[in-house]
Amino acid sequence: MMADPRFDPGFEKDGVFILPDRWKIDYQCASGELSKFYKELKENARLMGTKCPSCGITYFWPRSWCHRCYEDCEWVEMSGKGVVPMFTRVEISLNDLQTEVPYIQGGVLLDGAAYPAISFIRGEFSEMENGMRVRAEFLPAEERTGRIRDFFFVPDK
């Protein structure tokens, strides 16, 4: 159990009295109508998108309704292959979800999808170029948690 700063003594610094504090909030986030995406990712290593039955546009990340047509979408499985229109390399960890740096992130436009989705890309930064083709790889089943950190993209040569 980490020390709780809310009970730490206050102290004076440069003429100002400092009171340590912390906000700590835990959640059990209900994924609602998006549940199938996370379940398929965790249990079957599948990337699920959605398709509008009216205009035919495929969304990945999935959405349950089409913002153009106001119709409910249908689930479709994505191939996991696509192109990288843009990428960058993160040199310094700015978030405690990411402790291993540097890492590459980029937008991945999955085949058939309307928009790029931000994801991790594993590859040699100097050998990457915009428009390169990539394919999804998944963490082993025992390591998958149902979050989008469960997969990453590698060059599809």
Partner 1 sequence: MNRVAVVGVGNTAFAARHADKTFPRLAYESVKAALEDAGAQKEDVESAVYAIYNDFFEHCAMPELHIHYLLGIARKPSVRITCGGATGGYAMRAAFAEVASGMHDVVMVVGVEKVGDMNTFDMIKSITYAGDPFFESQLGGSAAGSYSAPIRFHMERYGTTEEDIARVVVKNKGNARNNPDAQSPMEITVEDVMKSPMIIYPLKILDHCLSSEGAATVILASEEAAKRFKKPVWITGVGASTESGRQAERDDVGDSLFPAVKAAADRAYAMAGIKDPTEALQVAEVYDSFSGVEICLYEEFGFCPRGEGLRFLTDGGAAMGGSLPVNPSGGLIGGEHAIGATGVYQVAEVVRQIRGEAGARQVPDVKRGLTQSMGGARGAYSVSLVLEG
| Chain residues in the site for partner 1 (CB under 8 A) | 13-16, 18, 21, 23, 29, 31, 34, 61, 85-86, 88-92, 94-98, 105, 107, 115-120, 130, 147-149
Beta bridge partners of 88: 105
Smallest gap from Cβ 104 to partner 1, in A, equals 9
| CB of 35 or CB of 79, closer to partner 1 | 35
| CB of 61 or CB of 135, closer to partner 1 | 61
Q: Is 128 helix (H, G, I), strand (E, B) or coil?
A: coil
The token pair that represents 117 in the structure block = 């989705």
Phi and psi dihedrals of 35, rounded to 5?
-55, -40
Smallest gap from Cβ 105 to partner 1, in A, equals 6
DSSP 57: -
Other C-beta atoms within 10 Å of 74: how many? 12
